[in-house]
Chain A
Amino acid sequence: QKEVEQNSGPLSVPEGAIASLNCTYSDRGSQSFFWYRQYSGKSPELIMSIYSNGDKEDGRFTAQLNKASQYVSLLIRDSQPSDSATYLCAVTHSGYALNFGKGTSLLVTP
């Protein structure tokens, strides 16, 4: 069974702080890595994709990938209450379906 593990949380951070979300995966052959945001009752929304080791920045979001450690993370800078949601980590081989973690609930408090 190919596992994607996330801490379920909730992770609580004050407004303006950095939120750090972590994800580990078991399949060493994984090639594509994604972070999705899901608000309650809504479908997932793609935030970031990352394919190679290192950091990738997009606005307030930074994805970090370390394939040797089988670890991918998402940093959210200047967290806002509107960032409060569940963040899903997804991993896949090229061409295959996404394998999702159970998600981390983030709460940004004003």
Chain B
Amino acid sequence: GAVVSQHPSWVICKSGTSVKIECRSLDFQATTMFWYRQFPKQSLMLMATSNEGSKATYEQGVEKDKFLINHASLTLSTLTVTSAHPEDSSFYICSARDPQGRVDEQFFGPGTRLTVL
């Protein structure tokens, strides 16, 4: 299957700082990437859909000014958590859809564990 990477794999930051997470498709060009958040013992919750060259589409309840998403190239999408607070501590996972692959299949990055102190 297609390979998606994320960086960093974990980050600890102080409350009020901003954190940037990168998501890369390594062996394919992803026109669409997705950002999810997962709290302990809960399922994945879609935060936003990111399309290359256009503004991200955010799910209801997700603050677009707090979670900035940029999809500037076909292989890179970034999520910036601005002014992070302890309640933003979570497991952030990106996924990408390979347009040459099977319909609707998504491949997930390894995730970024964010801890805000």
Contacts and interface: CB of A to CB of B under 8 A. Distances in A.
Interface string B78-117: 0000000000000101010000001111111111010000
* Interface range for B: 20 to 34
A102 B108 contact: no
Given A32-B103, A34-B105, A98-B106, A88 B1 contact: no
B43 A94 contact: no
A36 B49 CA distance: 19
B54 interface: no
Contacts of A88: 43-44
Interface of B: 1, 34, 42-44, 46, 49, 91, 93, 95, 102-111, 113
Given A31-B104, A46-B107, 6 more contacts: A41-B113, A43-B108, A43-B109, A46-B106, A88-B44, A98-B95
